[in-house]
Amino acid sequence: MQSTFPQLLLKHASERPDAPAMREKEYGIWQTLSWQDMATLVEQVAGGLHVAGLKRGEHMVLIGSNRPRLYATMLAAQSLGAIPVPLYQDAAGPECVFPINNTGTRFAMVEDQEQVDKLLDIRGSCEAVSHIYYDDPRGLRNYSQPGLSSLDSLIESGKAFVASNPGFVKAEIAKAKVEDVAAMFYTSGTTGNPKGVVHTHFTLLNRGKAAADFDRLGPNEDVLAYLPPAWIGQNIFSYAQWLACGYVVNCPESAGTVMIDLKEVGPTYYFAPPRVFEGLLTSVMIRMEDAGSLKKKMFHSFMDIAKRVGPARMDGLSVSLLDTLKYKLGDFFVYGPLRNTLGLSRVKVAYTAGEAIGPDLFTFYRSIGINLKQLYGSTETAVFVCVQPDHQARADTVGVPLAGVEIKVAANGELMVKSPGLLKEYYRNPTATAEVLTADGWYHTGDAGFLDNEGHLKIIDRAKDVGRIMGGPNDGSMFAPKYVENKLKFFPHIKEAVALGDKRDRVCVMVNIDFDAVANWAERRNLPYAGYADLAQKPEVYGLIKECVEQVNADLSRDALLAGSQISRFLVLHKELDADDGELTRTNKVRRGFIAEKYQPLVDALYGNKPEQFIETQVKFEDGRTGSISATLKIFDTKTFAPVKAAA
């Protein structure tokens, strides 16, 4: 695709000016912006930014949820040749200091009072910041800090400039080349300062268009933009592919209304990390537990049919007439209403990425008629490396290489990728760039995997995380912690898990319960509790989690490669793992090494065969205060199973 983002905007505005480009829900009502509305808004914001002094090649930070005016500001910055840098809206102020100083940012666009306060708090550490604009004025009437003003005032300034210089912005847009830097995304920084991943217009739009062509996406799609714009996954779906395809992006009213808005929009193209699909399924299972016995029996009966018949139907395989009739009956009574309840009744293509999805979870969605597929990629590859074709979506692969992609496996088992979507560099970090990009254009993914006989990619785990059991009856067995964790997280009562075992004689696990699901389970059994920590340590809850763990062990025993990864001991943590406490990344990935170090006494107790262990943990509250919580955690042994030998 030989166009830049702003050039594509002008193309859509010229060819289909009145077609909807974006919708935003405000005060419960959906407001629509046409492509011409968007182009006009972008021109006005760009004019205002030019008057304010934004220069070509400068960086502009954006912090907020998905909002049309936030995306318009990104386009406006790109129209002037500047480089938007979206940051996570839930990041604490100190987390924003490095990206802002690393880029020498002078201009920032934020969503609301919360983000304004965040930037004002760190302004002393970010001396270059001279202009802060905000979209939502609520609560900001009496703010009078230098350089702080509303987006509305910037737009008014831009209107005046555009009126006297009508061709200026279009002329600036015409100067851009596809090889110019379009945007920068910061990695989560799990092992030090985050790295700025530099992408051009070409890398982002090329991958967005290639994936859209692969799935035959067009201007009639509806997308719900509800994940952080700072995550390249959301950015590619609601920005790069939005402009590549010209479809409609819908912005929910707030994080709290996403489920309602999902049902109202009924997206045709949907993207979510596994955690979201886990949450959707958990909400369904909680409701089913509260249902009457007849309804519950009907649900489980038809779900048995769906698990047996549904995946084959989705893969285009022939199904017997009797099974077809049973499935259609189930679709009328259960699967159809269930898809509607989830807000996924219109979905043509649903993707999950960001981390591996549990095979049981993946199969569940496909069994009820949702075309859920996996893709493989990263920030550095502009997301799309491998995607699953229709009728070839399997739980144990992440698809085939997308057009233009080459994959090879290094001698150490690491996957190497060559693609039109590769990053240009890590910003101001030539050492890190040289570590991931070879002289002949191959990118080190850091993942271990292989291409199977049908050309589908299988990911085992992060290359650095794949380990070996050392000692004991399973000495030398492969240990893939993420695989074990994902199998545990399929259960609605388990929200998060941290598996340990590399260079040890057995596997032990620390579990986070899903508070909503377990609380609902406890209330139906008249089991009293006083908050998360108390509920987590109930003997009955340990019994519930033990059943889940032992079921995972039974499944692992049937896997020739990973039978040695069965879980020997586990405990239930007294607090939820939290990004604010450094235990998760901002994209909710477990920081396994950090957790093992932070909870070293628990690790020692697990492997020291102790029945319980006292732990005191420092936590950060939502208002920024710190405190500590303590508990004595019980540790349970679990049943393991002899490996099941494959039939001859």
The length of the chain is 648
How far is residue 527's CA from residue 492's CA, in Å, rounded to a whole number? 18
Average pLDDT estimate for 275-291: 84
Torsion, Cα 128 131 137 140, to 10 degrees, reads: 60
Confidence check: pLDDT of 44 > 80: yes
Percent of the chain with pLDDT over 70: 98
| Residue 146 falls in which region: left (phi positive, over 0), alpha (psi -120 to 50) or beta | beta
Tens-digit pLDDT profile for residues 136-168: 999 999 999 999 999 999 999 999 999 999 999
Instruction: Give all strands (DSSP E) within 344-454, no chain letters.
Output: 349-352, 372-376, 386-387, 400-401, 406-409, 414-418, 425-426, 443-451
Q: In this structure, is residue 241 part of a structural domain?
A: yes
Q: In this structure, is residue 396 part of a structural domain?
A: no
Tell me, what's the pLDDT at 1? 56
Cα-Cα-Cα-Cα dihedral sign, residues 328, 332, 338, 344: positive
Chain centre distance of CA 534: 30
Q: How many CB atoms lie within 10 A of CB 195?
A: 25
Confidence check: pLDDT of 261 > 80: yes
The set of residues, in sequence order, having a beta carbon less than 8 Å from that of 477 and lying 6+ positions away, is 468, 469, 562, 563, 564, 565
Confidence check: pLDDT of 47 > 90: yes
Tell me, what's the pLDDT at 327? 96
Tell me, what's the pLDDT at 222? 97
The tokens for 343 are 């807000």
Range of the domain at 534: 467-637
Torsion, Cα 103 121 76 105, to 10 degrees, reads: -20
Tens-digit pLDDT profile for residues 453-480: 889 998 877 777 778 899 888 888 888 8
Q: In this structure, is residue 143 part of a structural domain?
A: yes
Task: Please state, in angstroms and as integers, the Cα–Cα distance from residue 319 to each residue in 350, 363, 437, 461, following that order.
Answer: 24, 17, 47, 34
Tens-digit pLDDT profile for residues 476-507: 888 888 888 988 987 889 999 999 999 999 99
Tens-digit pLDDT profile for residues 395-409: 888 999 999 999 998
Q: What share of the chain is helix, strand, coil (3-state, %, to 5)?
A: 40, 20, 35
Confidence check: pLDDT of 104 > 50: yes
Rounded to 5 degrees, what angle do the CA atoms 116, 119, 124 make?
140
The backbone torsions φ and ψ at residue 198, rounded to the nearest 5 degrees and listed phi first, read -95, 125
Task: Please state, in angstroms and as integers, the Cα–Cα distance from residue 509 to each residue in 408, 541, 596, 605, 635, following that order.
Answer: 33, 16, 11, 12, 10
Q: What DSSP character marks residue 626?
A: E
Find out whether 411 and 423 touch, Cβ atoms under 8 Å. no
Residue position matching structure tokens 């793992």: 577
The backbone torsions φ and ψ at residue 392, rounded to the nearest 5 degrees and listed phi first, read -135, 35
Confidence check: pLDDT of 120 > 70: yes
DSSP code per residue over 74-132:
HHHHHHTT-EEEEE-TTS-HHHHHHHHHHHT--EEEESSHHHHHHHHHHGGG-TT--EE
Stronger pLDDT, 357 or 152, i.e. the higher one: 152
Three-state DSSP class for 607? Answer: helix
The tokens for 434 are 């040289």
The backbone torsions φ and ψ at residue 601, rounded to the nearest 5 degrees and listed phi first, read -60, -35
Q: What DSSP character marks residue 331?
A: I
Confidence check: pLDDT of 306 > 90: yes
> Which region among 21-30, 166-175, 243-252, 405-414 has the lowest average model confidence (pLDDT)?
405-414
Q: In this structure, is residue 407 part of a structural domain?
A: no
Domain limit, last residue, from 217, 240, 272: 272
Confidence check: pLDDT of 545 > 90: yes
Confidence check: pLDDT of 621 > 90: no
Three-state DSSP class for 412? Answer: coil
Residue position matching structure tokens 């995972």: 552
Beta bridge partners of 584: 590
Tell me, what's the pLDDT at 112? 96
Q: CATH number of the domain that 488 lies in?
A: 3.30.300.30
Nearest to 311 by CA among 376, 386, 365: 365
> Which region among 166-175, 514-523, 577-586, 611-620 has the lowest average model confidence (pLDDT)?
577-586
Find out whether 210 and 245 touch, Cβ atoms under 8 Å. no
Amino acid code (one letter) for 192? G
Domain limit, last residue, from 216, 239, 272: 272
Q: What total of structural domains would you count in the chain?
A: 2
Tell me, what's the pLDDT at 196? 97
Domain limit, last residue, from 247, 272, 297: 272
Q: In this structure, is residue 598 part of a structural domain?
A: yes
How far is residue 42's CA from residue 74's CA, in Å, rounded to a whole number? 9
Tell me, what's the pLDDT at 304? 93
Average pLDDT estimate for 243-259: 94
Find out whether 494 and 510 touch, Cβ atoms under 8 Å. no
Q: CATH number of the domain that 23 lies in?
A: 3.40.50.12780
Q: How confident is the model at residue 647 (pLDDT cuts 50, 70, 90)?
A: very low
Q: In this structure, is residue 546 part of a structural domain?
A: yes
Q: How many CB atoms lie within 10 A of CB 437?
A: 18
Tell me, what's the pLDDT at 623? 66
Q: In this structure, is residue 400 part of a structural domain?
A: no
Q: How many CB atoms lie within 10 A of CB 431?
A: 7
Q: In this structure, is residue 216 part of a structural domain?
A: yes
The set of residues, in sequence order, having a beta carbon less than 8 Å from that of 322 and lying 6+ positions away, is none
Tell me, what's the pLDDT at 287? 82
As a whole number, the mean pLDDT across the chain is 92
Find out whether 509 and 499 touch, Cβ atoms under 8 Å. yes
Confidence check: pLDDT of 622 > 80: no
Average pLDDT estimate for 51-69: 97
Q: How confident is the model at residue 559 (pLDDT cuts 50, 70, 90)?
A: confident
